[in-house]
Amino acid sequence: MEVEKNVDVNAVGLVHTEEKTDGEDPALFKTSSTEAAEVTLLSADAKEERWVLWKIDMVIMPLMCTVFFFQYLDKTSLSYAAVFNMRTDTHLVGQDYSWLSTLFYLGQFFSEYPMTYLLARFQVARVVGVSTVFWGIVCMCIAAVQNFAGFGAVRFILGIAEGAVSPAFVLITSYWYKRSEHPMRVAAWVSCNGLAQIIGALAMYGIGKITGAAVESWRLMFLITGALTIVFGALFLFLMPISPLTAWFLKPKEREIAHARLQVDRLTDEHLNFDRRQLWEALMDPKVWCIFVLSILTCVTSFVITFGSIIISGFGYGSFQTMLVGLPAGGIQIFFIWVSAFGMRFIPNSRTYLGCFLTLVPLIGSSLLLSLPIDNKWGLVVSCWFATVLSDLMVIGLSLCASNVKGNTKKTTVNVIYFIGYCTGCCIGPQLWITAEAPRYHTGCVANIACLAALAVTFLVYRGLCAWDNRKRDRLMETMGQVEYEAYRIGKQRGRDPSDLTDLEDVSFRYVL
């Protein structure tokens, strides 16, 4: 009689096998279509799992952090260049500067639908690597622009090039880490936003001191950041493994442990297929649209960062002073990112409550920026620092995408929906910062206050929807009993790979709150 083996993962990431005869229903035993799920792992203790996790962190996190750092540095460089005569050299007037920001995110917006297909159909790491090299080339082209038309075209193309990175990083995080590990890892690469603010300002300060260069200092800044982006994009392309099962830095047994860790956590493996059924499910799920609203509201408020250097220089600071005075904003940003990460890690089901609480920081900053006397320079500068504390809210939103969605196509779709909202908010945001209102920017500050208040409400609505679904599943299990419930759960799989079931199909899945 032919014997097949069913692989089951226990609570510490181990795998054991069960035998079945060929007369029994294979759907009752099938747990994964991947090759690693068909082999038996030797017992592994918690120490071995920690060692595997440490090796993953030492390779995956630096690669992701470096690429995300350069993505944000490219964005903040526009703000730094603006106070080093970029607007004069390229003949920008009126709302032209705001439109440069909007055009970038319009490019990202139009790239999201094709990126949904590419990320679901091709290896995510390869898509990111190629797009990173491409955006480095486009970034260097900014050094050649002479007017608004050329500048706007390059910014639009740059937005298209960068469209894959953030959605892909949510996927990569879920491919390598358990749900309990998501907040700290998402915080690690998002905190590179704050680091880019600090290093970018210092770099612009140093480059601005160069005399006798063949090009203006702001053009040199884009040449340098673009060239470095190409180098690190190529490194990402060749060093980032496709999945734990192909990790070049892990030994064979370690690869099995890395894969088993995710199976016990009921997460999604990378499947190179596009499932229209999962796409439709994502579009009909109200929790997904809450995530969409969260992303819009977060990003409408984020343009106090883009205009931060201009706001500070408007209070009477020179170009070099503006770079130095703005430095603490990056450090404060990093601090609150890690506040959110540690809160999510050590306070169970606290993510949405943390989101509500952390909206208070930029809310207070924007309110003070709007109301303090114009001659209170340092008070306004400090208000500007706290008004820019928004990346921690992005960490919470991204961690919800990574932890609360299952199914390869659905997860990809939700990530892209999040970033369509991100792009929509980022297209709207710059137009609310009206040049004629400088340096106070009344409309922008009022819009920030309103959006942050709505953001807190949306976090609570999302929490309510997730809690409702969790309670329904708990009641179902209590009503049926363990044996009947397990048979019901397996029947819902319909012979499909459990790692590609969606969160709605997998009745054992529970949403984090």
Helices (H), 285-430: 286-300, 303-306, 308-314, 319-325, 327-346, 351-358, 360-371, 377-387, 391-403, 408-428
pLDDT mean over 113-120: 78
Give the model's pLDDT for residue 261.
Answer: 82
Please give the average per-residue pLDDT across 79-84, as a whole number: 86
Q: Which of 3-12, 58-67, 115-124, 475-484 has the highest mean pLDDT?
A: 58-67
Q: Which of 363, 370, 361, 356 is nearest to 332 (CA)?
A: 361
Q: pLDDT tens-digit profile of 237-281?
A: 999 998 888 899 999 888 888 888 877 665 455 555 667 888 898
**Distance separating alpha carbons of residues 30 and 50, to the nearest angstrom:** 28
User: Higher model confidence: residue 292 or residue 438?
Assistant: 292
Strands 15-20 and 4-9, by their bridges, are: antiparallel
* Whole-number Cα distances in Å, 410 to 57, 271, 399: 26, 12, 15
Mean pLDDT for 72-78 is 83
Please tell me whether the peptide bond between 241 and the residue prior to it is cis, using omega within 30 degrees of 0. no
Does residue 94 come out as left (phi exceeding 0), alpha (psi in the -120 to 50 range) or beta? left
pLDDT of residue 270: 53
Query: At 474, phi and psi to the nearest 5?
Result: -65, -45
pLDDT at 353 over 90: yes
Question: Cβ-count burial of 239 within 10 angstroms (0-12 exposed, 13-18 middle, 19+ buried)?
Answer: middle
> 8: helix, coil or strand?
strand
Task: Tell me if the domain spanning 281-462 has CATH number 1.20.1250.20.
Answer: yes
Q: Is the pLDDT of residue 354 over 90?
A: yes
Whether 44 shows a pLDDT value over 90: the answer reads no
> Per-residue confidence at 484, pLDDT binned at 50, 70, 90?
low
Cα 163 to Cα 426: distance, rounded to the nearest angstrom = 13
Could you give the CA distance from residue 111 to residue 429 in angstroms, rounded to a whole number? 19
Tell me 507's DSSP state: T
pLDDT tops 80 at residue 111 = yes
Q: Give percent above pLDDT 70 in the chain.
A: 84
Q: What is the pLDDT of residue 452?
A: 94
Tell me whether residue 495 is exposed, middle or buried, using C-beta atoms within 10 angstroms of its C-beta: 0 to 12, 13 to 18, 19 or more: exposed
Helix (H) or strand (E) holding 16: strand 15-20
The predicted pLDDT at position 67 comes to 93
Name, in order, each residue with C-beta under 8 angstroms of 337's C-beta and a sequence gap of 6 or more. 187, 190, 191, 193, 194, 391, 392, 395
More confident residue, 13 or 42: 42
Residues whose CB is less than 8 angstroms from the CB of residue 304 and which lie 6 or more positions away in sequence, other chains included: 311, 362, 365, 366, 369, 384, 387, 388, 390, 433, 444, 448
437: Cβ contacts below 8 Å, ≥ 6 apart? 443, 444
| DSSP β-bridge partners for residue 504 | none
> With the CA atoms of 310, 315, 321 and 324 taken in that order, what torsion angle do they form, in degrees rounded to the nearest 10?
-70
Q: What's the whole-number mean pLDDT along residues 321-348?
A: 88
Distances from the Cα of 170 to the Cα of 22, 360, 396, angstroms: 40, 26, 12
Highest average pLDDT, of 107-111, 145-149, 368-372, 411-415, comes from: 145-149
- Average pLDDT over every residue of 163-188: 85
State the pLDDT at residue 363: 94
Structural element, H or E, at residue 20: strand 15-20
Look at 8-12, 402-406, 444-448 and tell me which has the smallest mean pLDDT: 8-12
Q: What is the pLDDT of residue 53?
A: 92
Instruction: Give the per-residue pLDDT at 78.
Output: 86
Contacts of 471 (CB under 8 A, 6+ apart): none
Q: Report residue 67 as tokens.
A: 């690429």
210 against 2, higher pLDDT: 210
Q: How far apart are CA 19 and CA 29, in angstroms?
A: 9
The confidence score (pLDDT) of residue 234 equals: 95
The more confident residue out of 41 and 196 is 196
Question: Hey, where are the domains in the chain?
Answer: 43-264, 281-462
The pLDDT of residue 10 is above 70 = no
Where is average pLDDT lowest: 198-202, 305-309, 425-429, 480-484? Answer: 480-484
Rounded distance, CA 332 to CA 348, Å?
Answer: 25
Q: How high is the mean pLDDT of the chain? A: 82
Identify which of 9-18, 30-39, 99-108, 285-294 has the greatest average pLDDT: 285-294
Is pLDDT of 20 > 80?
no
pLDDT band at 228 (very low <50, low <70, confident <90, very high): very high
Q: How far is 110 from 129, CA to CA, in rounded Å?
A: 20
Average pLDDT of span 393-402: 86
Task: Reply yes or no on whether the pLDDT at 335 is more than 90.
Answer: yes
pLDDT confidence band for 208 (50 / 70 / 90): confident
Out of 3.30.465.10, 1.20.1250.20, 3.40.1280.10, 2.130.10.10, the CATH code matching 43-264 is: 1.20.1250.20
More confident residue, 281 or 116: 281
Looking at residue 12, its pLDDT comes to 30
